[in-house]
């Protein structure tokens, strides 16, 4: 009788583990992040790369949506932005977009030109209980440094308040939130800290990198514009029991895992000012 009871308990325990594993698999998802496309009117190389990336993303049915983190037009011209929109509109899944410094600095009114093409310069949505908040960090009038304007800060606070302190949140910027890059970096980070921020995802540096924003992981990703070595790509981000970052070249069928990040990394007691504390598995592919 005792053995039978133990067997029943073990079966129930194994069943619970199986259900938990299946639930975890079912709740995991992937999305793509594209940044720094830099389309140019007199050079179609970057246009070709974006077209290839769109085709490649459409072929991967496990990708649920796309985030575009700015610098879509190298000179911030409306014609290049319209071409970007035309290509992104051919995605078979939703996309969400913010501008970068190249999209705003050539415009006297900051985001007016970008807004005339993409309707808005920030976004907020929820997917499988994760909130994604993307906001503008660029300035107009020829200014190349970053700044989040007061009205944009007010919008960010509203979105965070709606998410509450429990819902996991990813924020998306173009600039990394570093001193010397964004003028009001301290204000932004202090605004984010009370909330359940999983990571800040950014571009701008044209390479993969990891930073620490007072305990919040800051992840920079590869540009879609080829560098002097011909390297280019976009990111596939997988959220499950952890956060996994892959670099994907549109012409290579095999994505490269370069970073694994624990969920709730900012609450991890081992987190410190050393950004390497966040890295569980990092490959040097810069």
Q: What is the pLDDT of residues 154-170, one digit of tens each?
A: 999 999 999 999 999 99
Taking residues 122-128, report their average pLDDT.
Answer: 98
List, for residues 80-91, the tens digit of each pLDDT value: 999 999 999 999
Surface-to-core class of residue 235, CB atoms within 10 Å of its CB (0-12 exposed, 13-18 middle, 19+ buried) = buried
Domain holding 113, by residue range, is: 30-254+262-274
Run of H or E residues at 50? helix 45-58
CATH of the domain at 125: 3.60.21.10
For the chain, give the percent of residues with pLDDT over 90: 76
pLDDT of residue 4: 52
176: in domain: yes
The mean of the pLDDT values for the chain is 87
pLDDT of residue 284: 35
Among candidates 87, 103, 94, which has minimal Cα distance to 137? Answer: 103
Q: Is the model's pLDDT at 279 over the cut of 90?
A: no
Taking residues 119-128, report their average pLDDT.
Answer: 98
246: in domain: yes
Total domain count for the chain?
Answer: 1
50: in domain: yes
Which stretch of 57-66, 126-135, 218-227 has the lowest confidence by average pLDDT? 218-227
For the chain, give the percent of residues with pLDDT over 70: 84
- CA 129 to each of CA 27, 124, 125: distance values in angstroms, whole numbers, following the listed order: 10, 13, 10
pLDDT of residue 73: 97
- DSSP lists the bridge partners of residue 257 as 246
Surface-to-core class of residue 178, CB atoms within 10 Å of its CB (0-12 exposed, 13-18 middle, 19+ buried) = middle
21: in domain: no
Taking residues 261-272, report their average pLDDT.
Answer: 65
Q: Is the model's pLDDT at 94 over the cut of 70?
A: yes
98: in domain: yes
| 3-state percent helix, strand, coil for the chain, nearest multiple of 5 | 30, 25, 45
**Model-wide pTM > 0.75:** yes
Locus of tokens 């540096």:
205
286: in domain: no
Which residues, at least 6 apart from 120, have a Cβ–Cβ distance to it below 8 Å? none
pLDDT of residue 92: 98
79: in domain: yes
Strand intervals (E) in the chain: 29-34, 63-68, 95-97, 123-127, 130-134, 169-172, 197-202, 209-213, 216-220, 234-239, 242-248, 256-262, 281-282
284: in domain: no
């Amino acid at each position: 009788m005792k053995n039978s009871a133990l067997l029943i308990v073990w079966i129930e325990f194994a069943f619970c583990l199986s259900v938990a594993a299946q639930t975890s698999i079912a709740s995991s998802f992937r999305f793509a992040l594209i940044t720094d496309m830099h389309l140019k009117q007199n050079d179609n190389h970057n246009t070709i790369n974006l077209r290839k990336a769109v085709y490649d993303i459409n072929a991967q049915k496990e990708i649920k949506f796309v985030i575009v983190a700015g610098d879509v037009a190298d000179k911030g011209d409306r014609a290049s932005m319209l071409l970007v929109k035309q290509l992104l509109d051919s995605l078979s899944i939703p996309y969400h977009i913010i501008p970068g410094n190249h999209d705003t600095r050539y415009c006297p009114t900051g985001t007016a030109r970008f807004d005339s093409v993409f309707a808005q310069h920030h976004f907020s949505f929820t997917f499988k209980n994760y909130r994604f908040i993307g906001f503008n960090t660029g300035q107009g009038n020829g200014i190349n440094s970053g700044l989040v304007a007061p009205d944009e800060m007010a919008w960010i606070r509203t979105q965070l308040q709606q998410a509450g302190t429990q819902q996991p949140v990813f924020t998306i910027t173009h600039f990394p939130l570093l001193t010397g890059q964004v003028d009001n970096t301290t204000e932004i980070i202090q605004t984010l800290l009370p909330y359940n921020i999983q990571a800040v995802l950014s571009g701008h540096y044209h390479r993969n990198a990891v930073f620490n924003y007072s305990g919040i992981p800051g992840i920079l990703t590869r540009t879609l514009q080829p560098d002097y070595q011909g390297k280019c790509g976009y990111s596939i981000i997988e959220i499950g029991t952890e956060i996994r970052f892959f670099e994907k070249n549109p012409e290579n069928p095999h994505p490269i895992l370069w970073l694994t990040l624990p969920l709730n990394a900012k609450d991890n007691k081992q987190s410190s000012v050393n950004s390497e504390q966040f890295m569980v598995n990092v490959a040097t592919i810069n």
